[in-house]
Amino acid sequence: MTWETVIGLETHVELATKTKIFCSCTTAFGGEANTHCCPVCTGMPGTLPVLNESVLEFAVKAGLALNGDITRFCRFDRKNYFYPDLPKAYQISQLYLPIVRDGRVPIRTPSGLEKVIRIHELHMEEDAGKLVHDPWLDQTKCDYNRCGVPLIEIVTEPDFRSAEEVVAYLEKLRSTLQYLGVSDCKMQEGSLRCDVNLSVRPAGSEELGTRTEMKNLNSFKAISRSIAYETRRQIELIEEGKRVIQETRRWDDNKDATFAMRSKENAQDYRYFPEPDIPPLELSEEYLDHLRAGLPEMAEEKMTRYQADYGLPEYDTQMLTGQKALADFFESTVALGADPKQAANWIMGQVLGQLSARGLEAKDMKLSPRTLVHLIELVRTGKLNRNTAVKVFEAVFADDGDVDGYVKAHGLEQVSDPGAVAGAVEAAFAANPQSVADFHSGKEKAFGFLVGQVMRQLKGRADPKAVNEAVRKKLDEAKCGLDK
């Protein structure tokens, strides 16, 4: 039988506000345990939460960018449960009137499939603290620094059919939220994490199978691998005549498998009720218009503009706008006078290459646009050849080092003196008479060999075009000598 995988996602995104959702504690990542806390976020009796206005603004902006309907009258609800990372024994969230409903996110997968993922809702809530288990001391330590950090949870309809679609959606979501400036979406710091709801059914069936939920996945790799594993596990169960149990499962990256955590709760298990400490919110049309007008230029708009203004191919514009910081970097290099296509080539080749080799995102890069512009200029004016420039780039990339200083210290200026090139050609011909003879007997390959020998003598610093010309000229002269 052919099976179809059905996936829905719940994505938690930490908002990039300076302070927490209901108090003025910092949201800064890290810090010594329990130093970013106050009586409000640690749930002391008698304290009262006050909504941070930026949280509302960021949530509405995200809702607008995801093409959702903004709930004009919305409020918070209490989700009651006890867990040591939640000192109040309830989480302030939204159940009945979430701030955004019915969004739409168009995606395109690497294999070219285009579809729209429907957003069921987006709601605001507070994050919980962190528990650190110490197996040696048989103790658990509670760190409440993350308690009360603002989150939005974005819930999709079960519209995904493969891990590839899920990753395409998450990349789109991450790019959108970064362009908006509402979150840094750093998966490694947990500011974007996913719960994957997955079920399988016979291909062509309309009915949904029993689903399981995998919690807190925080890398694209873990998401893809857990989807593959869980799909296989469910199909095998059904084919053996067993049934899938609705439950929450934990993905173990080291064991490459999911494990049952607990049976899945339903909304009624949480005894939700309207939050009595925070008044409902009424959003005016003027407020929404104001936020709508302030939305920045998004990736698609930049792509269209780069194609129109700089004549760049669609592929380039897609690469350049994949991360907001990269698009900003590109725009700065062009503003500083670099040729747009040259800048695009360097960014897509060298910059992305270095970022990926170092496991960095564009916004963490120290390299300045000015440094890249200078390198491009050195190549254009013939002071460095392209290969040497790439080496210099790699050397200065990490710390935005001094290009001229590096070139000077390593003697990398391009050899432009025709006498030096001629001398090297002379020497290469003298040392390799067989290759010269081979060339004249029709072996084109010998040409490349001779060019290589000349480049080697000049330590790779010569302009390849000039060397090519000099070798060609010398071969012609030698040919004339043979003819006579």
* Contact in structure between 10 and 217 (CB atoms under 8 Å): no
At its nearest, how many Å lie between Zn ion and the CB of residue 150?
12
Return residues touching Zn ion (CB under 5 A).
23, 25, 38, 40-41
> Which backbone phi and psi does 213 adopt, to 5 degrees?
-120, 130
At its nearest, how many Å lie between Zn ion and the CB of residue 74?
23
Residue 46 Rama label (left phi>0; alpha psi -120 to 50; beta) = left
Question: Residue 330: CB partners within 8 Å, gap ≥ 6?
Answer: 320, 343, 344, 347
CB nearer to Zn ion: pick between 47 and 368: 47
CB nearer to Zn ion: pick between 88 and 172: 88
- Closest-CA residue to 128 (of 54, 32, 21): 21
Question: Residue 434: CB partners within 8 Å, gap ≥ 6?
Answer: none
Quickly list H helices, 271-336.
285-293, 299-310, 314-321, 324-335
What are the CA-CA distances from residue 373 to residues 279, 322, 329, 343 (Å)? 53, 21, 11, 8
What are the CA-CA distances from residue 7 to residues 10, 153, 159, 183, 219 (Å)? 10, 16, 6, 24, 17
Tokens 């949280």 identify what position?
55
CB nearer to Zn ion: pick between 40 and 95: 40
CB nearer to Zn ion: pick between 40 and 375: 40
At its nearest, how many Å lie between Zn ion and the CB of residue 48?
12
At its nearest, how many Å lie between Zn ion and the CB of residue 393?
45
CB nearer to Zn ion: pick between 41 and 180: 41
CB nearer to Zn ion: pick between 25 and 455: 25
At its nearest, how many Å lie between Zn ion and the CB of residue 136?
31
At its nearest, how many Å lie between Zn ion and the CB of residue 333?
42
In this structure, are strands 247-252 and 212-217 parallel, antiparallel, or unpaired?
parallel
State the Cα–Cα distance between residues 245 and 416, nearest whole angstrom. Answer: 73
CB nearer to Zn ion: pick between 277 and 301: 277
At its nearest, how many Å lie between Zn ion and the CB of residue 33?
14
